[in-house]
Structure 1
Amino acid sequence: MAIRITTLPPRWAHWRCSLQRRPFVTAAALGACLGILSSCCALLLLGVSLQLLPPEQWGDSAASSLRNLGRGTIFVLAVIYAPLIESFVGQLIPMEILRRFRAHPAVCVLLGGVVFGAGHSLTSGLVHGIASFAAGCVFACAYVAMRWAGISASFLAVSSAHAMHKLMLLFVFAPLVPPAF
């Protein structure tokens, strides 16, 4: 007869308690991990979109306005300032409205991705909108995952995911792409 384990092992139970005691550290760590994941997903979708869509539907480069700025200015504007504003408008407000209507978390994630992708599509074109939809879904997952700890912790998770996403794209992946692209 097999022994069935119905409780969490003590090691995992301690881990869960420490996450609940420090929700802001948990939110920042979750956001950083999901930011790396979202940048990889966005790059994958970006590559697929560039292969499938004709060049006239690509739209402008989202980073074209940043070319004449220094690295410090880009860091402050794109990695610190923009994620706070975009996360507030594109994630927090829609997610809290959906939460008031008691929407299912999956609906919240999809609609959060749609709002985020649509906002980026309007300013930078269809390809950027598609990649931003995937990133927006990952950011919405961060929000839903941390909502148990309150609005502040969930906003921190989304903002840190968004900041890590932009940091990865602008300072890790962008230098790997040839300038003519």
Structure 2
Amino acid sequence: MNWPALLARRPWTAAFGLGLGLSLCTAPASLGTALLANALLPDGWFGESAAGNMGELSSLGFLLLGVFLFPAWETLLGQCLPIEPLRRLRAPALACVMASATLFGGAHWVNGGLGHGLTTFVAGSLFALAYWLCRPAGFRFAAVAAYSTHAAHNFLVWFVLGPLLGG
């Protein structure tokens, strides 16, 4: 079954499935970008991750805020807010995805330095792609796709890759 048919027949499955599948790409892509930025940028330009501002939360608090709550908020601000007006103006897909990724990465840059902005730009471009690919089924499916990509990404980075890499 091709993507448009799956999206039309089973939009919830398509949105969640795409989100979970893309998160398997976002985690290594942002990790690779972080390693490259860390190697190429001068000291002090990388900055803290957004999670660095979450303080000394328990694992459960970190899970609830960093995996479930914040990705929902950032989906509204980082994907819905830039993509919907551009889509209504009939902007091309690439412009919508790049505008979203730029806003997402830029907000993280302000919060955590250039290196962090670059890594979140890369991940944010895939969150925006998930949104765009599911948008033909409707706004809520697009938001679910972007949210599930982001939430699964955060889980993989913070609870799987972080402990494996000693971070």
Alignment TM class, shorter chain as reference: over 0.9
1:115 pairs with one of 85, 103, 118 = 103
Corresponding letter in the other structure for 1:89 = L
2:93 alignment partner in structure 1:
105
Q: Check if 1:132 corresponds to 2:123.
A: no
TM-score relative to the length of structure 2: 0.94
User: Could you tell me which amino acid in structure 1 is paired with residue 113 of structure 2?
Assistant: G
Tell me the alpha carbon deviations over residues 73-93 of structure 1, each in whole angstroms, 9 at most, x when there is no partner. Answer: 100000000000001001111
Stretches of 4+ aligned residues off by more than 6 angstroms: none
Gaps of 5+ in 2: none
> Which ranges in structure 1 are unaligned for 5 or more consecutive residues?
1-11
Say yes or no: does 1:55 pair with 2:43. yes
Q: Residue 4 of structure 1 corresponds to which residue in structure 2?
A: none
Q: CA distance change for structure 1 residues 18 and 102 in 2, over 3 Å: closer, same or farther?
A: closer
Deviates further, 18-27 or 102-111: 18-27
Sequence identity of aligned pairs in percent? 35
What amino acid does structure 2 have at the position aligned with 1:107? A
SS at match of 1:56: coil
| 2:58 is equivalent to residue 70 of structure 1 | yes
Measured on the aligned residues, the alpha-carbon RMSD in Å equals 1.6
Aligned length: 167
Aligned to 1:151: 139
One-letter identity of the residue aligned with 1:108: C
1:118-137 per-residue CA deviation (whole Å, 9 max, x = no partner) reads 01111111111000000111
Following TM superposition, by how much is the alpha carbon of 1:64 offset from its aligned partner in structure 2, in angstroms?
2.3
For the residue of structure 1 that corresponds to 2:50, the secondary structure is coil
- Which of 53, 70, 73 aligns to 1:85? It is 73
- 1:162 aligned residue: 150
- CA shift digits 1:65-118 (9 cap, x unpaired): 345211111000000000000010011110001111110001111111101100
| C-alpha separation in 1, matches of 2:114 and 2:4 | 41
Aligned counterpart for 1:174 among listed residues 153, 162, 167:
162
Normalised to the residue count of structure 1, the TM-score between the two structures is: 0.87
Shift of 1:17: 4.0
